[in-house]
Structure 1
Amino acid sequence: MKKALFATTIIAIIFTACNQTGKTIQLNPNEEKTTVFESKPLIEGYLTIEKSLVIEDSKTAAEAAKTLVESLNSYDEKSHTAKQINVFRKIKTNAIKNAEQISVNADKIDLQRKHFKILSEDFYDYVKVEDLPAPIYKINCPMYKDGSFWLSKTKDIKNPYFGDKMLKCGDLQETIK
């Protein structure tokens, strides 16, 4: 009887620790606007979308995506290397398309997350060749759409695909410097 009670208690503790629904996430997507990435408007725009999806603020994600589209359209090739320009040109059309979809779907966070997944794939290629003022972390989420990842400026896992439902779901895959 004691073993059954102990096992039930352990299972309840584990379930409670893993089940984070109902928890309010207190993050302000604009709180660290003056970051080391401020001089990199494409990266800053992506990171603002990521932060907004973490806290389930679809309206701020939409605004950040609109700004990201403007930054993608005004990319200054003169200040980049040939390799950076080539990668940028490869991702530009798709990145704009997905950022626009995030922007126009301010009331549909699930759709925003779907397009953020694809945007993350493009941005991964971009940050790999960009001169970064600080590390970017590639974080894997095995549960979203058969495996997805996102980029973050911190190692701290805050999942933009599930928000407060599975905030800590993910594992650090790579540090990009």
Structure 2
Amino acid sequence: MKKLKTTLLAITMLLIASVSISCKGGNKTESSKTLDNQMQKETEQMTNSDNQESKAEAILSDYFNLKDALVNDDNARAKDLGNTLAQSLKSFDASSYSESEKSDLKEIIEDATEHAEHIGESDIKHQREHFKTLSKDVTDMVAITGTDKKLYEQFCPMYDGGTVWLSMSEDIKNPYYGSKMLTCGKVQKEIN
């Protein structure tokens, strides 16, 4: 998807350049000026869309770092990463999505931010409780924003009646039990 957008951006830029050259500097007709304006707007929209994708990818990156801290039973690092994730979530702008997606993303982001903030101030047991809901929120966000990464939804049947999380690896590294039951779980599905 990102390659397609990059290709479209390159084509758009070439079209703008060719229209500018063919119009011999300042002798543009009204239709070529309109075409230039349309292409410029489309280029800006693609750039904004790429920017939103990068913010969604930053949220994913922060989520995976937090997951790894929980896998490693690192309460202090999880606190820091919970706060980092909360900031990434707060900076996400859903304006380039449809109205229904904006509404859904607003709810998801608000809930995820609250859980990330709680992780930023809690003991590891409580962090893991909030990570459960945070994982659902991030999974719901990815369903709307998409991702270029191959992700794995993993499932632990033992934690709180069964709980999922996302991973970039098929290898099970359980964030809910850490070193106590590191490999408890299975890949439930692939995303992307």
TM over 0.5: yes
Structure 2: distance between partners of 1:123 and 1:170: 19
Gaps of 5+ in 2: 1-53
Residue number in structure 2 paired with 1:62: 79
**What SS class does the counterpart of residue 156 from structure 1 fall into?**
coil
Which amino acid counterpart does residue 113 of structure 1 have in structure 2? R
CA–CA distance in structure 1, aligned partners of residues 191 and 143 of structure 2: 7
Using the TM superposition, give the Cα deviation of residue 131 of structure 1 relative to its aligned residue in structure 2, in angstroms: 2.6
Tell me the equivalent position of 1:72. 89
**CA spacing shift, 1:140–1:84, aligned 2, 3 Å:** same
Counterpart in 1 of 2:109? 92
What is the number of equivalent residue pairs in this alignment?
138
Aligned letter for 1:73? K
Residue type of the alignment partner of 2:187: L
- Look up the match of 1:127: 142
Q: Give TM-score, length-normalised by structure 2.
A: 0.67
Q: Report what 1:81 is aligned to.
A: 97
Higher relative contact order (CA 8 A, sep 6+): 1
Question: What is the aligned partner in structure 1 of residue 61 from structure 2?
Answer: 44
* Residue 130 of structure 1, CA deviation: 1.9
TM-score by length of structure 1 reads 0.73
Moved more, 115-124 or 87-96: 87-96
Aligned partner of 1:104 in structure 2 is 121
1:39 Cα offset (Å): 7.0
Amino acid at match of 2:135: S
Calculate the aligned-residue CA RMSD, in Å: 1.7
2:56 and 2:138 map into 1 onto residues whose CA distance is 16
Task: Find 1:137's aligned residue among 147, 152, 156.
Answer: 152
Q: Distance in 2 between matches of 1:154 and 1:133?
A: 14
In structure 2, what residue type is equivalent to 1:52?
A: A
Query: Percent identity of the aligned residues?
Result: 36
**Matched residues in 2 for 1:56 and 1:162: separation?**
8
Deviations 1:86-128 (A, max 9, x none): 33212122111110110011xx100100000011111111111
SS at match of 2:161: coil
Partner SS state of residue 165, structure 2: strand
Give the 3-state SS of the residue equivalent to 2:153 in structure 1: strand
How far apart, CA to CA, are the structure 2 residues paired with 1:123 and 1:81?
A: 17
**CA separation of 1:174/1:104 partners in 2, compared to 1, >3 Å: closer, same or farther?**
same
Report the CA distance between 1:77 and its aligned residue. Answer: 2.4
The answer for unaligned runs of 5 or more in structure 1 is 1-36
* Structure with the higher fraction of residues in helix conformation: 2
**Partner residue, 2:19:** none
Aligned-partner Cα distance in 2 for 1:171–1:46: 19
Q: Indicate the residue corresponding to 1:114 in structure 2.
A: 129
